[in-house]
Chain A
Amino acid sequence: MILNRVQNWWQSKQLHWLEKRIPGADEFSLDHKNIFIFPTSFGFLYLLLSLCLFLLGSNYQNNLMLLLCYFLLALFLVCLFSCYINIKGLRVKLGKCTPGFAGQNLYQGVWLESDTPPLGKFHLHYWQNKDLVSQEYCRHTQFKLAISFNSRGIYQLPRITIKNFYPLGLLKCWSHLAFPQKLVIYPTPRPAAIPSNTNSAHKDENGVQPSHVLGTDEFYSLEKHQRGQPMHHIDWKQMARGRGMLTKHFVSYQRQAIWLKLSPALGNDLEEQLQKLCFLVLDLSQKNQDFGLDLGHSKLPLACGEKHKELCLKSLAIYPRKLVDVEH
Chain B
Amino acid sequence: MLSINRSHLLLTLCLGATTLTLIDAIQFWVVLLLLISSISRLLVIFHWQKQPLSQRVINMLALLFAIPLLYLGWQIGLLLAMLNLLLIAASLKLLRMANNRDYFQLIALEFFLIACGFIFQQSMLYTLVYMLLVMLTLMSLAYHISPSLSWRQHLNHIGKLTLQALPISILLFLVLPQIGPLWQVSGNSSASTGLSEKITPGDIANLSQSSDLAFRASFKGHIPDASQRYWRAIVLEDFDGRSWQIAAQRKRVERAYIQSKKPFTPNLSGPVFHYDIISEPTQQNWLYALDVGVSNTRDVRLNYAYQLTSAYPLTTSFRYQLNSYYEQPLIAPLPQLDRHLGLQLPLAGNSETQQWVTALRARYRDNNQFIQQVLAFFQHGNFRYTLKPPPMPTDSVDKLLFEYKAGFCSHYASAFAYIMRLAGIPARLVTGYLGGEYLGEDTLSVYQYDAHAWVEIWHDETGWQRIDPTVLVSPERLSGGLEQAVAYEASFLAQSPFALAKLKNIAWLNSLRLQLEQFDFMWSRWVLGFNSQQQLALFEQLLGDLNYYNLAALTFAVIFVIGLLLAIFHLPQWRKQALPMEQKLYVKALALLEQRGITRPHWSGAQDFSLSVKRHVNPQAGSDFEQFTQIYLNLCYDPKHKSEKSYKQNIKQQKLLLKKLAKGLRQS
Listed in ascending order, the chain A residues whose CB lies under 8 Å from chain B are 41-42, 45-46, 49, 52-53, 55-75, 77-79, 81-82, 85, 88-89, 115-116, 119-121, 136, 139-140, 165-169
Contacts of A169 in B (CB 8 A): 104, 141, 144-145
The answer, among B146, B176, B531, B581, for a CB contact under 8 Å with A166, is B146
State whether A75 touches B162 (Cβ < 8 A): yes
Contacts of B101 in A (CB 8 A): 41
The answer, among B147, B162, B169, for a CB contact under 8 Å with A70, is B169
Binary CB contact string for chain B from 183 to 208 against chain A (1 if under 8 A, 0 otherwise): 10100000000000000000000000
B544 shortest CB reach to chain A, Å: 26
The answer, among B144, B183, B530, B642, for a CB contact under 8 Å with A59, is B183
Q: What is the CA–CA distance of A71 and B137 in the complex, to the nearest angstrom?
A: 14
State whether A74 touches B104 (Cβ < 8 A): no
A49, closest chain B residue (CB):
B108
Q: How large is the interface on B (under 10, 10 to 19, 20 to 34, 35 or more residues)?
A: 35 or more
A71 and B108 in contact (CB under 8 A), knowing A78-B569, A85-B577, A115-B580? no
B574, closest chain A residue (CB):
A85
Listed in ascending order, the chain B residues whose CB lies under 8 Å from chain A are 101, 104-105, 107-108, 111-112, 114-115, 118-119, 122, 127, 130, 134, 138, 141-142, 144-149, 157, 161-162, 164-166, 168-170, 172-173, 176, 178-183, 185, 312, 315-316, 318, 527-531, 562, 566, 569-570, 573-574, 576-578, 580-581, 639, 642-644
State whether A74 touches B166 (Cβ < 8 A): yes
Q: What is the CA–CA distance of A73 and B161 in the complex, to the nearest angstrom?
A: 12
Contacts of B115 in A (CB 8 A): 53, 56-57, 65, 68-69
Contacts of B114 in A (CB 8 A): 68
Contacts of B180 in A (CB 8 A): 58, 61
A68, closest chain B residue (CB):
B115
Contacts of A45 in B (CB 8 A): 104-105, 108
A119 and B146 in contact (CB under 8 A), knowing A63-B528, A75-B161? yes
Other 20 A-B pairs with CB < 8 A, given A69-B115, A81-B570: A42-B107, A42-B108, A45-B108, A46-B111, A59-B185, A61-B316, A62-B122, A63-B528, A65-B118, A71-B165, A74-B164, A74-B166, A75-B138, A78-B165, A79-B161, A81-B566, A116-B577, A119-B149, A119-B157, A166-B145
State whether A62 touches B315 (Cβ < 8 A): yes
A120 and B146 in contact (CB under 8 A), knowing A71-B166, A85-B577? yes
Q: What is the CA–CA distance of A42 and B277 in the complex, to the nearest angstrom?
A: 42
A113 shortest CB reach to chain B, Å: 9
Contacts of B105 in A (CB 8 A): 45
State whether B173 touches A136 (Cβ < 8 A): no
State whether A58 touches B530 (Cβ < 8 A): no
Can you list 18 pairs linking A and B with CB atoms under 8 Å apart? A42-B104, A52-B112, A58-B178, A58-B180, A61-B315, A62-B118, A63-B316, A65-B115, A68-B114, A70-B169, A77-B165, A78-B569, A81-B569, A88-B577, A115-B577, A115-B581, A119-B145, A120-B145
B280 shortest CB reach to chain A, Å: 13
Contacts of A121 in B (CB 8 A): 145-147
Q: What is the CA–CA distance of A62 and B529 in the complex, to the nearest angstrom?
A: 9
Contacts of A81 in B (CB 8 A): 566, 569-570
Contacts of B528 in A (CB 8 A): 63-64
Q: What is the CA–CA distance of A93 and B123 in the complex, to the nearest angstrom?
A: 55
Contacts of B527 in A (CB 8 A): 63-64, 67
Contacts of B316 in A (CB 8 A): 60-64
Contacts of A168 in B (CB 8 A): 138, 141-142, 145, 161
A4 shortest CB reach to chain B, Å: 26
Contacts of A115 in B (CB 8 A): 577, 580-581
B129 shortest CB reach to chain A, Å: 12
State whether A63 touches B145 (Cβ < 8 A): no
B642, closest chain A residue (CB):
A139
Contacts of B145 in A (CB 8 A): 119-121, 165-169
State whether A68 touches B134 (Cβ < 8 A): yes
Contacts of B164 in A (CB 8 A): 74, 78
State whether A82 touches B570 (Cβ < 8 A): yes
A79, closest chain B residue (CB):
B161
Q: What is the CA–CA distance of A57 and B642 in the complex, to the nearest angstrom?
A: 52
State whether B147 touches A136 (Cβ < 8 A): yes
A262 shortest CB reach to chain B, Å: 46
Q: What is the CA–CA distance of A88 and B576 in the complex, to the nearest angstrom?
A: 11
A60, closest chain B residue (CB):
B315
State whether A72 touches B172 (Cβ < 8 A): no
A175 shortest CB reach to chain B, Å: 16
Contacts of A75 in B (CB 8 A): 138, 161-162, 165, 169
B162 shortest CB reach to chain A, Å: 7
A170 shortest CB reach to chain B, Å: 8
Q: What is the CA–CA distance of A45 and B141 in the complex, to the nearest angstrom?
A: 14
State whether B639 touches A78 (Cβ < 8 A): no
Q: What is the CA–CA distance of A263 and B100 in the complex, to the nearest angstrom?
A: 55
The answer, among B111, B162, B182, B639, for a CB contact under 8 Å with A58, is B182
Q: What is the CA–CA distance of A278 and B164 in the complex, to the nearest angstrom?
A: 62
Contacts of A116 in B (CB 8 A): 576-577
Contacts of B168 in A (CB 8 A): 70, 74, 77-78
A43 shortest CB reach to chain B, Å: 9
State whether A60 touches B185 (Cβ < 8 A): yes
A163 shortest CB reach to chain B, Å: 11
8 tightest A-B contacts by CB?
A: A74-B168, A74-B165, A115-B580, A42-B104, A70-B169, A89-B577, A71-B169, A70-B172
Contacts of B118 in A (CB 8 A): 62, 64-65, 68
- Most chain B C-beta atoms within 10 Å of own C-beta, residue among A61, A73, A136, A169: A61
Q: What is the CA–CA distance of A251 and B144 in the complex, to the nearest angstrom?
A: 68
Contacts of B643 in A (CB 8 A): 139
B159 shortest CB reach to chain A, Å: 12
A157 shortest CB reach to chain B, Å: 25
Q: What is the CA–CA distance of A42 and B318 in the complex, to the nearest angstrom?
A: 35
- Most chain B C-beta atoms within 10 Å of own C-beta, residue among A56, A58, A62, A74: A74
State whether B176 touches A70 (Cβ < 8 A): yes
Q: What is the CA–CA distance of A231 and B107 in the complex, to the nearest angstrom?
A: 85
Q: What is the CA–CA distance of A71 and B180 in the complex, to the nearest angstrom?
A: 20
Q: What is the CA–CA distance of A61 and B176 in the complex, to the nearest angstrom?
A: 14
Q: What is the CA–CA distance of A57 and B173 in the complex, to the nearest angstrom?
A: 12
Contacts of A69 in B (CB 8 A): 115
State whether A77 touches B566 (Cβ < 8 A): yes
Contacts of B170 in A (CB 8 A): 67, 70
State whether A61 touches B570 (Cβ < 8 A): no
A61, closest chain B residue (CB):
B316
Q: What is the CA–CA distance of A120 and B166 in the complex, to the nearest angstrom?
A: 23
A142 shortest CB reach to chain B, Å: 13
A67 shortest CB reach to chain B, Å: 5
State whether A85 touches B161 (Cβ < 8 A): no
Contacts of B183 in A (CB 8 A): 59
Q: What is the CA–CA distance of A4 and B183 in the complex, to the nearest angstrom?
A: 46
Q: What is the CA–CA distance of A52 and B112 in the complex, to the nearest angstrom?
A: 9
A81, closest chain B residue (CB):
B570
Q: What is the CA–CA distance of A79 and B181 in the complex, to the nearest angstrom?
A: 31
The answer, among A56, A78, A165, for a CB contact under 8 Å with B566, is A78
State whether B146 touches A82 (Cβ < 8 A): no
Q: What is the CA–CA distance of A52 and B141 in the complex, to the nearest angstrom?
A: 21
Contacts of A82 in B (CB 8 A): 161, 570
Q: What is the CA–CA distance of A89 and B142 in the complex, to the nearest angstrom?
A: 22
State whether B112 touches A167 (Cβ < 8 A): no
State whether B570 touches A63 (Cβ < 8 A): no
